[in-house]
Amino acid sequence: MASAIEVDALRKSYGSAVVLSDLTLTVPSGIYSLLGPNGAGKTTLVNILTTLVKPDGGTASICGVPLTDRRCVRQQISVTGQFAAVDALLTPAENLVLIGRLLGMSARRARGRADELIDSFDLSASAGKLVRDLSGGTARRVDLAMSLVQQPKVLFLDEPTTGLDPTSRRRLWADIRALARTGTTVLLTTQYLEEAEALADRIGVLAQGRIVAEGTAAELTARIGGEELVLTTGDGEVVRTLTTDGTAGGVAAALAQLGSDAAGLHVELRRPTLEDAFASLTGSGIDREKVAA
């Protein structure tokens, strides 16, 4: 089966600032997440792949269609940006019908598709209310539903849960998983490590304009190394860390290195996390509010 997205040596600069530098990427079907610090080039890449911005060099294709064929590419894709692009003075149903009509559907077909999406996204209770009166999470789900009116082969989600509370974020995650099960490939950019780990079949780490690592969450964390034994005082102060393979024998061997003065210390087995992998691969710190959200 052909890949949903193919990118080869893509380049983009704004003046002297290099944003993408010979970026090469293959996105299979399923959910693929791009992780990267602010300014890594995630949104620029999405803008290029959705034909909104022209690259300076390199090639890319969507479902086998080269980006140079902009009209055909746009027939394959849909995009949801960082902020809800809904008309606040219309109802969810009216927003969905409007998109359908703009896409060339008959009034009857547009209303039918709107009804299908309102049911799929559990929006019946909100369908007749103005969007301005809805919660941020519900408005975001309307926005996601609008991007599916034409049933795209590839959906680009550029930080779709920015600003949502944890409950709304998880509700949107369920919608994204359900969408992927229907066969739509999802390219998700996010700064929430928990989001990438929960949703993505594969993760690409973008730093300094390139993909610096790629794999499942487990594969990326495995690059950091094995488990560690962390020894702390009763106040939580870290006194020493010992490397171990995580097996009972490895833990016993590590503890055997300690003298009697360590008898009063607390021991914790710590496994590497996606946060550790991200920090190691990008040299970037993590916004812990986003990690915990």
| Whether residues 15 and 108 fall in one domain | yes
Q: Token pair for residue 232? A: 């702390």
CATH number at residue 95: 3.40.50.300
For residues 236 and 246, state if they share a domain: yes
Domain edge (last residue) among 220, 250, 273: 220
Q: Is the pLDDT of residue 233 over 90?
A: no
Instruction: Evaluate if pTM is beyond 0.85.
Output: no
Residues 43 and 81 in one domain: yes
pLDDT (0 to 100) of residue 32: 96
Q: pLDDT tens digits, residue range 165-212?
A: 888 888 889 889 988 998 899 999 988 888 998 999 999 999 888 999
Residue range 200-216, pLDDT digits in tens: 999 999 988 899 999 99
Q: Are residues 114 and 212 in the same domain?
A: yes
Query: Of the residues 166, 199, 220, which one is the last residue of a structural domain?
Result: 220
The number of helix segments (H) and strand segments (E) in the chain equals 11, 13
Residues 215 and 229 both lie in one domain: no
Question: Which of 220, 237, 271 is the last residue in one of the domains?
Answer: 220
173 and 149 co-located in one domain: yes
pLDDT, tens digit (0-9, with 9 covering 90-100), for 3-61: 899 999 999 999 999 999 999 999 999 999 999 888 888 989 999 999 999 999 999 99
pLDDT tens track for 48-62: 999 999 999 999 999
pLDDT exceeds cutoff 50 at 1: no
Tokens encoding 168: 């709304």
Same domain, 234 and 138: no
My answer on whether 18 and 161 are in the same domain is yes
Q: Identify whether the C-beta of residue 81 lies closer than 8 Å to the C-beta of residue 56.
A: no
Give the three-state DSSP class for 18: strand
Number of domains in the chain: 2
Range of the domain at 230: 222-292
- The pLDDT-based confidence of 256 (bands split at 50, 70, 90) is confident
Same domain (yes/no): 203, 244: no
